[in-house]
Structures are given as C-alpha cells and as structure tokens.
Amino acid sequence: MGKLENRIALITGGGSGIGKATALLFAHEGAKVAIADWAESQAQAVAAEIQASGGEAIAIKTDVAKAADAQRMVEETVHRFGRLDILYNNAGIGEAKLLHLMSEDEWDRTIDIDLKGVFLGSKYALPELMKHGGVILSTASVAGLEGIRRMSHYCAAKAGVILLTKSMAMDYAEYGIRVNCICPGGIGTPLFDTGYENLTPERKERALKAFTALHLLNRIGQPEEIARTALFLCSEDASFITGQAVVVDGGYTAGHRVISNPR
C-alpha cells in the first residue's frame, strides 16, 4: 500500500518541474491527483501520464492569482473525487531584476502568484479540509530565509509564504490540519533555467558554476528530491510536524563561506 493510498491531492503548478515530479510521485503512492496549472496542455500531459500508469488524475487550467480560478480548482477536485485531503501550493514565478528598474506590474505579478496564490488556494481549500483534517503544503524558498541579489520581489513573496504557513498552522491545528512549507535551494526546473536565458553561453556557464558552488554538495538539486520531501510532509510519516519551513538546499544556507588559508 502506498503512503497516500486513497488520498485526494490538489497540486498547483503541477504541469512541470517540482509540481510534475510531485504529482507523479503522489500518484505512484496511491493518491488521486488534480493538477492545476495555467499551462493547460502541460497539466493534461501529466494527467495522461498518471492515467497511463493506472492512476487517477485530472487537469485543471488555473491562474492561482485569481480568486475565481482558485475556488474553481477546489470545486472541480471535490466534484471529481468526492473530497480533498492535500493542497500543495507549488505554483510560482521568479525573474531577476533590480528594484529601481522593476515596474509596479512586475512586482505585483510576483507577489500575486507566489504569495497571493498561496492565500487563495488555502482560502478555498480550508473549508473542505476542516471537514475531516488534512494537509496544506507550500513551496517557499531559501530566498524567503535570506536575501538574494536582484530578487527582492521574490524574496519578499517567499518570506511571506513562510510566515503565512506558520500562522495557518496555528489557526487550523484544532481542525486536524497540518501546514508546512518547503524551502528549496537551486533546483533544476524550467523556472530555474529562466534566470539564465538572457546570458551568452559563456556567461551562463560561469554563472551556473558559481551558483552551484554555493551549495555544499556542489550540485543543483532535482525536482524529484523536493517531491520526496513533499511526500514525507503530506504522509503520516510527518504526523507530528506542522508550522515548519523545511529546508532542502544541499547546504546552501548552512553558513557564510570564507576562503581558508591553505595548510
């Protein structure tokens, strides 16, 4: 029996990257999965892959920054599967830019998707979860724990996700709802790649090498590694864990790097 046998999970941003890896793993572990993504064709492809493997999944075109879409994705999940046990607020964007060059629309878009999207998804999922208990998980970031250059809007949003997580955990524990978030370091996803798309091949190689070196394990993580953490936090293995920001970063935030003198 899988760790999520007969559980109903709704995953935002489930059409690619961490969301896709998590949807596939949750289905493998017995969950029925609703895949919400603004890229409908990608969500449908993931759902089809799960169905081809004998699982149950649906795709829902969703803009997590819109209340009507957030409400509809929950309603469609419950209509199709009869209930909701897990909400994984994973959808997010991130684009490097200096604050004084950032437009108000660029600021708003990041906050709306990365932070408001967590609020809206949780707002409409909570009444269902309050009926019988469940789990809310969100993707935060190491960028919510410490500053990152040219990412002020992203850092602000992800820091908000972490404190929103803790506050919701306090408010809804009495309903048997656990609320946690994951703080990934650098993960090899399509979103990660967009940060380097405007660089020449030579500059991209240097930038990737420098960023990789900031991780003590000297590599970028893979979506499947975050998916396995999500599985743990959404399963009974984590039944006594709530209100936590779980860091999965290859040692990125372990401490400041200094160059030691050679012996």
Q: Are residues 227 and 21 in contact, defined by beta-carbon separation less than 8 angstroms?
A: yes
Strand, helix or coil for residue 35: strand
Query: How does pLDDT run across 106-146, given as a tens digit for each residue?
Result: 999 999 999 999 999 999 999 999 999 999 999 999 999 99
Task: Tell me the CA end-to-end span of the chain in Å, nearest whole number.
Answer: 54
Over residues 87-107, mean pLDDT: 97
How much is the pLDDT for 194?
62
Beta bridge partners of 10: 34, 87
Tokens 């399963």 belong to residue: 235
Whole-angstrom distance, CA of residue 75 vs CA of residue 70: 9
Q: List the chain domain ranges.
A: 8-187+222-248
Over residues 58-80, mean pLDDT: 98
Catalytic residue among 124, 154, 172, 252: 154
- At 263, the pLDDT band (50, 70, 90 cuts) reads low
Q: Which residue has the higher pLDDT, 194 or 242?
A: 242
Query: How does pLDDT run across 203-219, given as a tens digit for each residue?
Result: 868 878 988 999 999 99
Whole-angstrom distance, CA of residue 234 vs CA of residue 211: 30
Over residues 178-201, mean pLDDT: 81
pTM: 0.95
Beta bridge partners of 34: 10, 58
Q: Is the pLDDT of residue 64 over 70?
A: yes
Least confident of 27-36, 65-74, 152-161, 208-217: 208-217
How much is the pLDDT for 7?
98
Q: Return all residues near 100 (Cβ < 8 A) that are at least 6 apart.
A: none
How much is the pLDDT for 196?
58
Tell me the chain's radius of gyration from C-alpha atoms.
18
Kindly report the average pLDDT of the chain as a whole number.
Answer: 94
- At 235, the pLDDT band (50, 70, 90 cuts) reads very high
Tokens representing residue 10 in the block: 């709704």
Over residues 84-104, mean pLDDT: 97
Distances (CA, A) of 205 to 29, 190, 192, 201: 37, 17, 14, 6
How much is the pLDDT for 81?
98
State CA 170 to chain mean position distance. Answer: 21
Distances (CA, A) of 234 to 27, 84, 88, 127, 183: 13, 13, 9, 18, 15
- At 220, the pLDDT band (50, 70, 90 cuts) reads very high
Question: Measured at the alpha carbon of residue 108, what is the angle toward residues 40 and 252, in degrees to the nearest 5?
Answer: 80
> What's the CATH code, domain 8-187+222-248?
3.40.50.720
How much is the pLDDT for 44?
98
Verify whether residue 154 is a known catalytic residue. Answer: yes
